[in-house]
Structure 1
């Protein structure tokens, strides 16, 4: 690991690293990634390729991404603390930060939402176990918004999040949770994710304050910049590679032709007790982006939103454009098939958001102030959503269970 000065870089161990979005942001904030791990071979290949390319860390002269990082291809269940420490380190060695986002599909609205009943939904327990062994000074945990109201098998909305907080508290960590929208911090993507800070023997870091906001009719607060639109973002990107461009064919041409920006082809509605006309949405593969707003959340699918270009033609956002919206540098060579690339991109933590979080963590480490922290109360909106979900589930739960059962029967 090379540096341009003698300042000690705080250390990071990265779990569930994926294609490295979280690591990009934390390294830009000043961290050195000691170890990065993932179970997906494509992800590890991406990280190894990036490491070999020696990509400069933006704003950090002399530093390269993943320089000196040990890469481990393994499931979290297979790992022990000794696998993650630097070579030759004793059991007393502690990382400054342990960071990661266990697989989000069990809790995501884009998945089947089996939650903790899905084996992947229990991987946070492996995260907790490794935290107990490593005793990091601070923890950064990331997941999807749906985790706020995810139910335990007994049907309690928010029960999974309460279990996660309890699990960290039992090993000595106080926690603070918040939902953050990447667009509020300068990203051209409306991506809302759940974040947790945890501390063992120092004050709990606070989350960063937004720097941007939606300018609704000139009512934006004076200290905020307007959101960065997808149109602005694309105008600053290199021209799309012709081989990456997908245009509509067949019946899709007619389905998309008359769509207004920010709308899509409606999905078939599910009749519910309080929605006799059906609970519908837009089909994920047939949505036309509104270029005047930040992009919708980038998903782990090969069907990103369509855009209408200046000459009126339609095409999908390319995988490289989606990667750039996630904050990946242009040089970040994501490995695997096209489907594997989209999966890695969509599952990543938005790197610019990660950098903002990393700066808050680094400030806490630099202060080096000992403390006995206590967990912060749930944000008020969490309490409201948990209560609403309980009420809504009571009204529509049977309808949804029947609809899920029918979908699974028909495949």
Structure 2
């Protein structure tokens, strides 16, 4: 780290703060600094954030209500943010800059030149953002404001986390010091250092999990599309906000049974009609279940002492996690940003 990073106590503005993944990443990075204000319009996310970071000031506001004078008054030098991803997804109809959910980020881009104290920016978004018009607007603006920047498309598996969640990241700093790696004009697909291979799921899976997480018949009847994980797996699929509500493309399920038993159960099931009572009965023996919120938190590299308050429902937990970020990836990017 540079001398500046070692001696300076940075002041951070966390925008679209959600449940505090960026805050967790900052703490994990070990850089001196303080999240001065976190801003999010989601009251449920703010409740979770506050329970884990009771000393952080949270603004439950639309980001477009923040003026440049107000931000300057906070004397923050760093912005960490994860703007809404829906404008850049198929489910969001790929409306890009024409999606009203992009308005707050476009507003931030517009006022960036008025934010006199900002020296560091880290932004996360969904894979696909890199092909958007909003991305082009953002990059053009940070160039105009004399920021050096580097874009990444990073999956947690590349930093030792057994979960697929490829996301776009951009780190930028005011043009006063060089990067400590070879910057590329193209988007980088990995970080500048090497990491160990992903750990096994056994490290994060709970024991004696409640039966309420077992897949109900309505899900088992579609058991032919499940992505099944085991304790010795070093992978899992991306968990979305629809996890446990829909099956396809929302995340993996897990079983304590070994692969031979699972194969035999599926052989029995496949000798029946998919979705039939016999099909469901054949799969019940392997006790397929959803990952618990605690397990997903650990897969997303949240600290072990991170908790959801008892007031938050299971459905809300999954929705909040699906909208959150991978703490490990962002922590490593923060380290690179402040080298």
Range class of TM-score, shorter chain? 0.7 to 0.9
1:301 to 212, 232, 242: 242
Per-residue CA distance 1:350-385 (angstroms, 9 max, x = gap): 01111111111222xxxxxxxxxxxxxxxxxxxxxx
Pair 1:145-2:119 in alignment: no
Q: Compared with structure 1, are the counterparts of its residues 134 and 345 closer, same or farther at alpha carbon in structure 2 (3 Å cutoff)?
A: same
Q: Structure 1: give runs of 5+ residues left out of the alignment.
A: 1-5, 53-66, 86-90, 151-158, 213-224, 265-285, 364-411
What is aligned with 2:320? 344
What is aligned with 1:329? 303
What is aligned with 2:50? 48
The answer to whether the 8 Å contact 1:109/1:146 transfers is no
Q: Aligned with 1:124: secondary structure?
A: helix
User: What is the aligned length?
Assistant: 286
Mapping of 1:140-289 within 5 angstroms? 140-150=122-132, 159-203=133-177, 205=179, 206=181, 208-212=191-195, 225-228=196-199, 232-239=200-207, 241-242=209-210, 245-250=213-218, 252-256=219-223, 259=224, 264=225, 286-289=226-229
Shift of the alpha carbon at 1:97?
1.5
Q: 2:151 and 2:142 mapped to 1: Cα distance?
A: 12
2:233 to 292, 310, 314: 292
Q: TM-score, normalization: structure 1?
A: 0.63
Which is worse superposed, 308-317 or 6-15?
6-15
What is aligned with 2:278? none
Q: Compared with structure 1, are the counterparts of its residues 201 and 302 closer, same or farther at alpha carbon in structure 2 (3 Å cutoff)?
A: same
Q: 2:148 and 2:136 mapped to 1: Cα distance?
A: 13
Shift of the alpha carbon at 1:235?
4.1
What RMSD over aligned residues (CA atoms) do the two structures have, in Å?
2.6
2:87 to 94, 106, 110: 106
Pair 1:97-2:78 in alignment: yes
2:66 to 69, 79, 96: 79
Shift of the alpha carbon at 1:108?
2.5
The answer to whether the 8 Å contact 1:185/1:210 transfers is no
Q: TM-score, normalization: structure 2?
A: 0.75
Q: 1:293 and 1:117 mapped to 2: Cα distance?
A: 39
Mapping of 1:315-394 within 5 angstroms? 315-335=289-309, 336-363=312-339
The answer to whether the 8 Å contact 2:23/2:35 transfers is yes
The answer to whether the 8 Å contact 2:172/2:337 transfers is no
Q: Compared with structure 1, are the counterparts of its residues 351 and 195 closer, same or farther at alpha carbon in structure 2 (3 Å cutoff)?
A: same
The answer to whether the 8 Å contact 1:182/1:350 transfers is yes
Q: 1:43 and 1:76 mapped to 2: Cα distance?
A: 15
What is aligned with 2:274? none
Shift of the alpha carbon at 1:180?
1.2
Shift of the alpha carbon at 1:289?
4.1
Q: Structure 2: give runs of 5+ residues left out of the alignment.
A: 1-5, 182-187, 245-250, 259-285
Q: Aligned with 1:165: secondary structure?
A: helix
The answer to whether the 8 Å contact 2:148/2:175 transfers is no
Q: Aligned with 1:341: secondary structure?
A: helix
